[in-house]
Amino acid sequence: MSAYIDQFPEEAKVIRSAFYASFFALALGAAFGLIQTLHRTDFVRVIPAEMYYTVLTAHGVLMVVTFTIFFLVAIFTWAVTTSLDRGVEDIRFTWSWYGLMTLGTAFAAIAILAGFTDRTEISADVLFTFYAPLQAHPMFYVGLVLFVIGTWLAGADWFRSWWAWKQENPDERIPLPTFMVLTTMIMWYLATLGVATSIIAFLLPWSLGLIDTVNPTLTRTLFWFWGHPVVYFWLMPAYMMWYIMLPKFSGGRLFSDPLARVVFVLFLLLSTPVGIHHQYLDPGIAEGFKFIAMTNTMFLLLPSLLTAFTVVASMEHGARQRGGEGYFGWLGALPWRDPVFTGMALAGLMFAAGGFSGMINAGMNINYLVHNSLWVPGHFHLTVGTAVALTFMAVSYYFIPQVTGRRLASKQIALVQVVMWFVGMTFMSNAMHRGGLLGMPRRTAEPEYAGFQFETAIGTVGELNAQIALGGVLLTLSTLLFIVNMSITALNDRDDDLPSNTIPEPLSGPNEAPLVLDNLKLWTAIAVVLVIFAYSLPLGSIIERGGLFGPGGDAFPMFLEFADSIVFAFVGETLSALVSSLLETLRTVV
């Protein structure tokens, strides 16, 4: 079989464009990350303290939304076309969702970056967690809406391809890569209902002046309805790479196709009904609802543990095919000089550490010790910052030659780059976790308190800051090596010896998996029921206490006639009455 660009030349152009958009966001996000790291640790300050929040917003949005999701749509398009062995149904439709995502990114980025100048009133210093009471310019919210709609259309594109394939192969099991894409997108459609409602119904009208107030607890809850599943929207493509690419580069095959399907079904079911665990310290949400969220979150350990078992077993199989022997001797037979393998393996190792700190975040009582402290960014720099980002960068050394037909510029520099990222993140995340245990706050330009001394068990606060700064510098240098390597590769000579675009057959194939695993309608229905169970009563209680548009003021259109205002107020009161009635009925039933 030939390289991907030879099989699907038109799709390769879209994938290549998505990769380049992702890399551009990565480069900008890394630059902003270095600025905020050096500023916060007080080593080098090139911006005033109030501008720190513009930098922090740009870093967060570009890295954890733009970089990750543009990369996701690229490899998901590759996965569907490769595993179904057919191109997309309409390449013009594919370009349309890519264009919509790009336009949305441009709008949001302009709104954020405009905060660096006083010549315009446009700004969006709302951080990545863009709920009320912080308010952004309408352009920011419009950009987010366009971006999310673009992802919805991308999912529709992949479902169309699968449906067309299914009509031609009615008795065939869904190929595993396509199955992973479809279950991820079902989870995404469900999760984005929260953020879409928050933006379209509340934040955008609020920023336009159409309504005076919003309910902060409601918008925050709707954000986290999406804000935790989006973590798995980043992670599930990384998981897919671990299941598909790690066995291939280990020299073996995936241990179990059925177990991989079970894992993605579990993520579909369990990813969304857990967002309230980000709100343990929020008033207005009953402790019982928080306990339910904690319980649901703990169940998410199961698919992660199943993944660890399956992926490591697949790596061991590959190593033993390469001559590895003994209980641990097989580890030395793995291809550690290959940057694709090494990057993914180190990312998986770091994700295991992130899982342990995530268990602390998930527990109600112990979460109180680390909530909103530096521990939290220490955790997600292990998950999205390494498990996802390092996996994405590592597999780029395989995918960019596949979709460009060009020779990789330097395999040696690639290996140095992935190891440097791992080392840099080790320094940074370790110090962040320790700082969080001391109570150091997150999201602040000036974490030092006058007249207050942090007491460290080991080392000093200066040592922690030095570790964070050193880690930030190493991560930036790693990003620079990656961007240079990718840029030279894109301009390099044609490579006529590219590896074939193949996915090895699993040791335990799809026919050994129960047919019910492919019943997407069933799993979608169960996922919806779990979300209703987890969120209907909390949302009803929040609205009953604070109203749809917040306590202390009624929302009204700023420019409508008086009669229209009466109609608007009537509709709002009617909705509130309906919610109260529904809540009372549910309480009676329960």
User: Angle, to 10 degrees, between the axis of helix 257-270 and the axis of helix 287-299?
Assistant: 170
Give me the catalytic one of 24, 443, 545, 568.
443
Give me the catalytic one of 381, 406, 433, 434.
381
* Cβ 381 vs Cβ 457: under 8 Å: no
317 is catalytic: no
Smallest Cα–Cα separation from 313: which of 266, 261, 252, 390?
252
Residue 508 DSSP code: B
* Cβ 361 vs Cβ 277: under 8 Å: yes
Tokens 């010790």: give the residue: 369
Give me the catalytic one of 8, 67, 239, 380.
380
Distances (CA, A) of 193 to 227, 368, 451: 11, 29, 46
d(CA 2, CA 175): 20
232 is catalytic: yes
d(CA 282, CA 219): 12
Distance of CA 440 to the CA centre of its chain: 25
381 is catalytic: yes
d(CA 22, CA 68): 7
Whether the CA torsion 583, 587, 589, 590 is positive or negative: it is: positive
Give me the catalytic one of 232, 233, 249, 280.
232
d(CA 74, CA 402): 12
- Can you give the length of the chain in residues? 590
278 is catalytic: no
For residues 205-241, b (16+ Cβ closer than 10 Å) or e, as one string? bbbeeebebbbbbbbbbbbbbbbbbbbbbbbbbbbbb
Give me the catalytic one of 16, 228, 277, 434.
228
* Cβ 243 vs Cβ 256: under 8 Å: no
Whether the CA torsion 484, 114, 47, 430 is positive or negative: it is: negative
38: buried, middle or exposed (CB in 10 Å: 19+, 13-18, 0-12)? Answer: buried
39 is catalytic: no
Give me the catalytic one of 76, 137, 442, 556.
442
442 is catalytic: yes
Give me the catalytic one of 379, 406, 433, 434.
379
Active site residues: 228, 232, 379-381, 442-443
